[in-house]
Amino acid sequence: MLDDGSLLKTKLENLISKYQNISYLETDPICFPKQYKNPLDIELVSLISCLFAYGNVKNIQNFLKPIFLEMGTSPYEFLVYSNPSFSKFLNSQKGYRFQTKEDVIVFFLTLQRILTKKKQTSPLFESYFLDTNGRFDQNTSIQNFQKQFETELISTLKTETLSYGLQFLIGKWKSKSPKKRISLFLRWMVRNDYPDFGLYQNIKPNQIPYPMDVHIQKLIKVLGIKNQKQIQLNDAFLLTEFFKKINSNDPLLYDFYLTRVGIIDKCRGSFEEKICKVCELREVCLVVPRGIEPRLQG
């Protein structure tokens, strides 16, 4: 790091001031659950949005927007109270990148069965992340969610294995990957403050792994926090530990705002004068050369 953390914290607070505006929600998949008031709808739409949150923002939104429009004012009720429109909905589905149309249909059929069994119990999926003592365990909890969802998908398929698209959608529970989309879902569910929802009460923001999307992975390198090619789940937990030093109770506070640096400011992870000279993080960034911020080189 370039400083003791105090300067970084100041710059992060500047980012919050810059991007804490509802107009920026449209640059993030969180814009979809933000349309609902019922916690059941918020949680369901959040899960769908996060699992499909790979690729660029435009492609994600182009895929998800028609789905939620067709599901109407209450996606939860649309799935639980099956009616002729649900069959029409399934037939209208399209594939998305690694998921075929058939994968998407199986996914929604599985969600329908899960929700029907739960009978309006809120929250819907928090128990999937908790151990037998009702606690979140960083070594097993996300994997347990993946295992349970895999079992449900296999039950729908009536086969022993998942297609590549469905396996990619929920991730391989044995993998050491950072599980960024599930981590993003957890952030939305456990944080009480803007822009998140705070629906889960048994998991705390300082317990979960940092959502390691491509923008965060790029920024932690240029900020000198971590520099490695292969990012694993343990690294995501270590990044949470790093930000605990800046904000012990809410280390994931900065995630939404940092990702705007990549999505909106177009940070490339290398020096681009036009981009870097107006970036809020330029004074704590390793790629900004002498002459732009000479204090960094001393």
> For the chain, what percent of residues have pLDDT higher than 70?
95
| Confidence check: pLDDT of 291 > 80 | no
Region 236-262: mean pLDDT is 95
Q: What's residue 229's pLDDT?
A: 79
| Confidence check: pLDDT of 292 > 60 | no
Q: What's residue 290's pLDDT?
A: 54
> Residue 68 carries which side chain, given as an amino acid letter?
F
| Confidence check: pLDDT of 186 > 60 | yes
Q: What's residue 4's pLDDT?
A: 52
Express each pLDDT in 120-137 by its tens digit: 788 999 999 999 999 999
Reported pTM:
0.93
Compute how many other C-beta atoms are within 10 angstroms of the C-beta atom of residue 251: 21
Lowest mean pLDDT among 97-101, 120-124, 179-183, 241-245: 120-124
| Confidence check: pLDDT of 250 > 90 | yes
Q: What b/e readout covers 64-75, taking b as 16+ CB neighbours within 10 angstroms?
A: beebbeebeebb
55: left (phi over 0), alpha (psi -120 to 50) or beta: left
Does residue 259 or residue 227 have the better pLDDT?
259
247 HSE (CA, 13 A, CB side): 16
Q: What's residue 295's pLDDT?
A: 44
Cα Rg of the chain, angstroms: 20
